[in-house]
Structure 1
Amino acid sequence: MRVFVTGASGFVGSAVVQELIAAGHQVLGLARSDASAQALIAAGADAHRGDIDDLESLKQGAAQCDGVIHTAFNHDFSKYKANCEADRHIIIAMGSVLEGSQRPLIVTSGTALVAGNGIATEDSKPAVTSDIIPRLASDEAAAVVAARGVNVSVVRLSPSVHGDGDHGFVPTLINIAREKGIVAYVNEGANRWPAVHRLDAARLYRLALEKGAANAIYHGAAEEGVPMREIAEVISKHLNVPAVSQTPEEAAAHFDWIAHFVAIDNPTSFQKTKHTLGWEPTHVSLLEDLENGTYFQS
């Protein structure tokens, strides 16, 4: 297949590109700069110059291919709601050129959106709408294009997608600990984050593309849940700063915008994903990656 990948030079998207090419697919990767285009070409992909803010360029890329994997997202949390709404428009735009064709569209979401009611499964539904949790705009857009005849499925990623080059939540925790001289966790730190290595996540996207069903949801959660206290203790050891329990109120001030994620309890199952796609994660766990990876290299 020829596959259009958004976010193709990003942390997850670049791994998806490598996974697809290794499996014999052709890749057309979205590139917003010369450097990104050159990196894609060096990896064996073709580059499609454009930007997620340019819906026409996205529609053109999607129209040229047999399937689309959408991993791009603007993670500027200072305009989070606007970015979530932008993602809604992106999904609907790309879906408009796939209607009725059976060409697959794989949309990215998060397991944290279905946290709070025991172990999240692929059948778990959000209890609210994007009016309350803006990131649900992507899921709502997937439902809209599905109703229009698009072969769309959703990959929910764990709060921690880890590996070399990670610039997400775990590096943010490390940076806050460096800045403030403590590693904080909320109450007993028993709340859990699921986690997945970026290379395992990339394989999941490929399997969803090749074998996925319309309107299906898949979970990129290789580990059901890593207690936040255990994450904090590894950071504490490597930075030689104390790990400290905080109340939710103290943590809100300490962590700023990431406080909600630090406090979330999001145990997540991937058993249905394993059964339907044959996805078997093989890479190191989050704590092993923290201990032995590149997270604490200056």
Structure 2
Amino acid sequence: MHVFVTGATGWVGAAVVDELLAHGHEVTGLARSEAKASALAAKGVRPVIGSLENPAVLADAAQNADAVAHLAFNHDFSRFAESAQEDRQAIEALGAALSGTRKPLLITAGLALLAPGRVAVESDRPITDPSYPRRSEQAAAALVEAGLRVTIVRLAPSVHGLGERHGFVPILIDMALRTGVSAYVGDGENRWPAVHVSDAGRLYRLALESDLTEPAYHAAAEEGVRFRDIAQAIGDKLGLPVEPREPEHFGWFAGFAGGDMPASNALTRDRLGWTPTGPSLLSDIRHPDYYAG
């Protein structure tokens, strides 16, 4: 299978690319610069230089592939609304390019705000809260209504692994170093689902190979890790106190830090034969590499 991957040089996207290549698939990857294109080419990927703001580039690459995995998203939270708009337009461009075909399209979304306070399941509908502008799932649903083969992969809020530099755990580590405390909200009993990056990469590959039989899959190896335990692991490694703090302590991250967002993976495991094998979140973030540099 020839797969076009957006976000091919990103944290999860690179794992997806490596997984596809390791199983004999051909990959075209979107790259934002010549340097990133060269890095992809060195791995055996056909690079395409462009971004989500270049719909013609996206459409051309999608038309020349057998399947598409869309993972690119600008996670600069200072411009989140603009990033969400770019993502929606990119999904629409990919859909237009695949219209009239049966080529599979995987769209990436998140689990963080899907079903606050209860265990989210794959059949849950996406949130429509106007305060959260990302509309990846709604854009995907419109393509399904138009007859395209589209499936959502919902990523856990923590996609962890050695080498992670921009995810939620590094944010918490940086915050602890800056404030002198590894903090949690309230009693810290709120839960985060988690998945190792290698397991996430394998899920995308299995989904593409499965003929996209389900509307959504959950990339969550652990249903819910207590936030207080995450804070404790970070505090232990940094030699800092672990204490409750008001939501204001976390700034823009407060909604995530205090969010209770467990998620089931039962249907995903059953339908894809997906068996996560990577280390748990707590064992992973005790590794010294998370705290180097």
C-alpha distance in structure 1 between counterparts of 2:35 and 2:131, whole Å: 37
SS at 2:4 equivalent: strand
SS at 1:124 equivalent: coil
Q: 1:297 to 1:67 in 2, by over 3 A?
A: same
SS at 2:112 equivalent: helix
2:158 match: 160
Deviates more, 1:93-102 or 1:216-225: 93-102
1:67 has 2:62 as partner: no
Q: 1:213 to 1:85 in 2, by over 3 A?
A: same
2:13 match: 13
Q: In 1, are the aligned partners of 2:117 and 2:262 still within 8 Å (CA)?
A: no
1:35 has 2:20 as partner: no
- Report the Cα offset of residue 201 of structure 1: 0.1
- Report the Cα offset of residue 215 of structure 1: 5.6
C-alpha distance in structure 2 between counterparts of 1:130 and 1:13, whole Å: 27
- Report the Cα offset of residue 258 of structure 1: 0.9
SS at 2:113 equivalent: helix
C-alpha distance in structure 2 between counterparts of 1:283 and 1:292, whole Å: 14
C-alpha distance in structure 2 between counterparts of 1:121 and 1:82, whole Å: 29
Question: Which structure 2 segments of 5+ residues have no match?
Answer: none
* Deviation by residue 1:42-69 (Cα, 9 ceiling, x = unmatched): 1111101111111111111111100000
2:243 match: 244
C-alpha distance in structure 2 between counterparts of 1:210 and 1:146, whole Å: 19
Q: In 2, are the aligned partners of 1:164 and 1:293 still within 8 Å (CA)?
A: no
C-alpha distance in structure 1 between counterparts of 2:221 and 2:11, whole Å: 17
C-alpha distance in structure 2 between counterparts of 1:95 and 1:274, whole Å: 27
2:143 match: 145
1:208 match: 207
Q: In 1, are the aligned partners of 2:117 and 2:260 still within 8 Å (CA)?
A: no
Q: Which amino acid aligns with 2:207?
A: A
- Report the Cα offset of residue 113 of structure 1: 2.8
* RMSD (CA atoms): 1.2
**What is the percentage of aligned positions where both structures have the same residue?**
49
SS at 1:114 equivalent: coil
Q: 1:62 to 1:130 in 2, by over 3 A?
A: farther
- Report the Cα offset of residue 165 of structure 1: 2.2
C-alpha distance in structure 1 between counterparts of 2:113 and 2:234, whole Å: 26
C-alpha distance in structure 2 between counterparts of 1:145 and 1:123, whole Å: 18
Q: In 1, are the aligned partners of 2:31 and 2:49 still within 8 Å (CA)?
A: yes
Q: Which amino acid aligns with 1:16?
A: V
* Deviation by residue 1:246-292 (Cα, 9 ceiling, x = unmatched): 2xxx22x2111111100110111101000001010001010110112
Q: In 2, are the aligned partners of 1:153 and 1:212 still within 8 Å (CA)?
A: no
Q: Tell me which of 246, 259, 280 is aligned to 2:254.
A: 259
2:104 match: 104
After TM superposition, which residue ranges in structure 1, 4 or more long, deviate above 3 angstroms? none
Q: In 2, are the aligned partners of 1:161 and 1:195 still within 8 Å (CA)?
A: yes
Q: Tell me which of 261, 270, 282 is aligned to 2:265.
A: 270
Q: Tell me which of 274, 293, 296 is aligned to 2:291.
A: 296
Q: Which amino acid aligns with 2:159?
A: V
SS at 1:97 equivalent: helix
2:189 match: 190
Q: In 1, are the aligned partners of 2:195 and 2:281 still within 8 Å (CA)?
A: yes
Q: 1:130 to 1:82 in 2, by over 3 A?
A: farther
- Report the Cα offset of residue 129 of structure 1: 1.2
SS at 1:172 equivalent: helix
Q: Which amino acid aligns with 2:69?
A: I
Question: Which structure 1 segments of 5+ residues have no match?
Answer: none
Q: Which amino acid aligns with 2:53?
A: D
